[in-house]
Structure 1
Amino acid sequence: MANPKELDPAESPQAFYGAELRRLRLAKGLSQEALGALVFCSGAYIGQMESATRQPQKDLSERLDVALGTDGHFTRLYPMVTRSRFADYFTAVRELQEMARTIYEYDPVLVPGLLQTAEYARAVFRAFDPLRLAVETDELVSMRMERAHILHSPTRPRYWVVLDEAVIRRVTGNARVMHGQLAHLAQLVRSNRIVLQVLPFSAGGHPLMQGSLTLMTFVDAPPVAYGEGPYRGQLIDDPAYVENCRWAYDLVRSAALSHEASLALIEAAAEDYASEQD
């Protein structure tokens, strides 16, 4: 793995942990791969912790102390890192999406960012902050559109999304924006870029009623879960928590319409929005 980005250790406890891990690893003359072998994880995972992209685990912190002879240093830092889990959360999510082998998403309200059109994204940002300057909104939209390139690259992750029917029925922007957004989703499905299901209103209650969920898996690092609410998100890679999230996602997926029925529903809704423009 490439050398980690330069960190300001004062930026956050997680950045301090990563900077300390790199400093002490290099002091021992160990590569990321060599240290990973000593603590039973991949060198890439060591690199992700050093760049503050991934949070460390308690048991891994203990093994790092043994391997590096740091007398409990990382074990003592670990609680500080977990208490700061909301700091710069989405910067880490963006970086992890670039590295993910698979991405699974559920959203009860909005089309996820990777799938948004520019007009839909602009309507979302305006709704979130009606007083934001237009130039700032344009910059945010541009950044969001740039992120979507991962769905079109040769090494793109396998992407599976479940959308609540409310995402289709609630008008974001106007009928023209919704038509363009749903047509875009249909095109992504038909070009085999994504797998998409719609969770219909008739499905009733389910385990993810209270918020969105993203699950990511990687070739050489443990999976992570990310949940989001107003103004903040939570990125967690605790194995038990991630497993519970995966179970909840599977239950929601099993209650959703089939891939084919979901596509038909989205295309029908797109036609309805198109007719509203006439």
Structure 2
Amino acid sequence: MSRRGVVCVVVGAVVFGFAGGDGVAGGHAKAWADGTPVVWSEDEMPELPLDRYEFGATDQKTYDRMGSATQLLTQRCMVRHGFADFPRDPKFPGMATAYTSAMVAVSTGPVGPWDLGKASRWGYGWDPAKKFRAPEPAGREMTTEESAVYYGDRQSERSGCSGEAYTRIERGVRDRERMWTYVSRRTEAVRKQADRDPTMRRAYKAWADCVVDKGFKRYADPVQAFGDKAWRRGQDGNTTRGKRELGTAVADIACKRAHNTGGVWWTVARRLQRHELALHRAEFEAVRTDGDRLLANVRAVLETT
């Protein structure tokens, strides 16, 4: 069976209508005969059981609303302390003249990158002409006196006006550490289980054989290919984008498509997450309850503006 233009059988299922090209919408069948989804992009990865318990602040829009609420509460606290013109979004002392560059977190999903067009141009990196710069606060720089009230005694993370704001936002939350970290920790634990699962190991082997057949190095899985030190990432996290890197990245994605590595990963992860949820449903429900309380607090604060 050819390795191009078809989805190869990994767990005894067949896909019809597989098509080439960079497009994903309508370019291939949506599921194998056994229900395994065909995944060519991150957007095509169906929801997993633990996703519904992930705290909403992982969504950028929700995170921004939380930031707005805490800024508003902090500003009101500063005004009460006599700083009538304190900005809602202040610069920190010394920040006004400092150049702030963003540190890029270089990471990838459970089966690596998906975009074939980007891989052919930038490999495992990105366009070097694209500059990354951290967003700067819109308000003026706070004074040293204001900073002392803003942060408080610095002996506690809930000190000063900033601490007061966070305490208000988290009112009614039973376990803030669990709310912020529990689901991500359990999801990561399941991800590691999935990598050791026999079905997933067979899928990774099929992918690796495909990459080798295309003339490139053997890797244990796509994440290892993404993180190969041979790509010589700089301080900004970008790679050198050499010929071999570009070829490997393209082969990586083409082979994931040919063997539906993402769809197999999802099927394994769903099975393991369902088991995890059955074992710890009370903890997951408690996390969701705390998250709902916090988001309700955010809405209540923003409604007062």
Higher strand proportion: 1
TM-score for the superposition, normalised by structure 1: 0.26
Q: Which has the higher contact order (CA 8 A, sep 6+)?
A: 2
TM-score for the superposition, normalised by structure 2: 0.25
